[in-house]
Chain A
Amino acid sequence: MDSEEFQNIILPLVEKMFPLARRLMKNDVDAEDVIQEVMMKLWHNRNSWEKYSNPIGYAIRMTRNAFLDRIKKSKPELSAEPLEFSQKYETDQIYDEREASKIIYKIVSELPEIQRLVLELRDFDGFEMKEIAESLKIEISYARVLLSRSRKIVREKMIKNYGYERRTI
């Protein structure tokens, strides 16, 4: 793969991978660093690129691995809550959204890891099922089963905890 092909095929993945990196790293600067690292690796592996049937799945896996490497090195305090909801200024609506999001993120964070990953990659990042399956090295049918389980659990818990409270107010 020459540099023109790389710029046309692989580089646009940056925009698709950034939300995932941003969600994992919780700030723009670190997310950009992770994306840079992943793209650098993809550039070095550009000549063996043909052996990967699903480039996006491979890029997702590399992004997660880069994130895990950083955790091992720096051991940051991980929180299920993204940065936007930690900001100080807020209206009533933003406050409600923030509280709702806190509850949802808590529910999601309590899911078994593989279910959480599939759910986040699909519902938060919008990846195709084959890309998710490739990134986690599982069958698509199994990825769908995991997704179904996690969605049902989240919905059930939301109705039970948050949804019920909200309607009674």
Chain B
Amino acid sequence: MVMNEEQYNIILKKYLEGQSSLEDERLLKDYNKQHETPEKEWFNLCNKKTSIPSGLQNRVWNNIINNEQTTSINKTKKILYGNGSRSHLWWAAAIIVLGLFSSSLWQINRRQRMQNQKLELLENALFSFAENIKSETSDNDKASSERYIIYQDENIVLYSE
């Protein structure tokens, strides 16, 4: 678009009111390249482009990726080895916890074994008791023919000889 002075002044007014668009401002800069105006130096300065270093985006991205990898390695190292002098404390704490854990496991195991032994003894005692009762009952059967039952229920048998 080629502007005349009148159009230029209209856009310049918008510009000074802060109401111009970036496109309006580009037109003002273009106009000032070819015409002498009081604003020429200003627009020339605004028109200066900063040159972007080549490969900037790639460099930035590569650094981000490298930093990400280094950070994740450091995190793993931190978990494994801790942070400086504190690492010894972490190792000591881990050993103590492990010791306590294995000790309590041994205690539980020992208690279980003792309980099993007790149960075995009890079973043996009950078995021999049952054997005794059996032999006693068979002796009683022989004598029962000579006995007279006075009273009998589920638990008690009373008899006289």
Chain A interface residues (CB < 8 Å from chain B): 7, 11-12, 14-15, 18-19, 22-23, 28, 32, 35-36, 39-40, 43, 84, 97, 100-101, 104, 123-124, 126, 128, 143-148, 151-152, 154-155, 158-159, 162-163
Residues of B within 8 A of A7 (CB): 61
The closest CB in chain A to the CB of B67 belongs to A40
Instruction: Establish whether residues B16 and A148, one from each chain, have CB atoms under 8 Å apart when the complex forms.
Output: yes
The closest CB in chain A to the CB of B46 belongs to A123
B53 within 8 A of A: yes
How long is the Cα–Cα vector from A143 to B19 in the complex, in angstroms? 10
The closest CB in chain A to the CB of B29 belongs to A123
How long is the Cα–Cα vector from A154 to B43 in the complex, in angstroms? 12
Q: Is the interface of A mostly helix, strand, loop or mixed?
A: helix
Instruction: Establish whether residues A18 and B52, one from each chain, have CB atoms under 8 Å apart when the complex forms.
Output: yes
Instruction: Establish whether residues B45 and A148, one from each chain, have CB atoms under 8 Å apart when the complex forms.
Output: no
Chain B interface residues (CB < 8 Å from chain A): 15-19, 22, 25, 38-39, 41-42, 44-46, 48-50, 52-53, 56-57, 59-61, 63-64, 67-68
Q: Of B18, B42, B44, B53, which is within 8 A of A32 by CB?
A: B53
Residues of A within 8 A of B56 (CB): 14-15, 18, 32, 35
Q: Total A-B residue pairs with C-beta atoms closer than 8 Å?
A: 81
Residues of B within 8 A of A143 (CB): 18
A23 touching B22 in the complex, CB below 8 Å, given contacts A7-B61, A11-B61: no
22 A-B residue contacts at CB 8 Å?
Answer: A11-B60, A14-B56, A14-B57, A18-B50, A18-B53, A19-B49, A39-B60, A43-B68, A97-B41, A100-B44, A100-B45, A104-B41, A104-B42, A126-B22, A143-B18, A145-B18, A146-B18, A148-B19, A151-B15, A155-B39, A158-B41, A162-B41
Instruction: Establish whether residues A152 and B16, one from each chain, have CB atoms under 8 Å apart when the complex forms.
Output: yes
Q: Which 9 A-B pairs have the closest CB atoms?
A: A148-B18, A19-B50, A147-B18, A144-B18, A100-B41, A123-B46, A163-B38, A22-B50, A39-B60
Q: Of A23, A97, A148, A162, which is within 8 A of B44 by CB?
A: A97
Q: In whole Å, how far is A125's beta carbon from the nearest beta carbon of chain B?
A: 9
How long is the Cα–Cα vector from A40 to B53 in the complex, in angstroms? 18
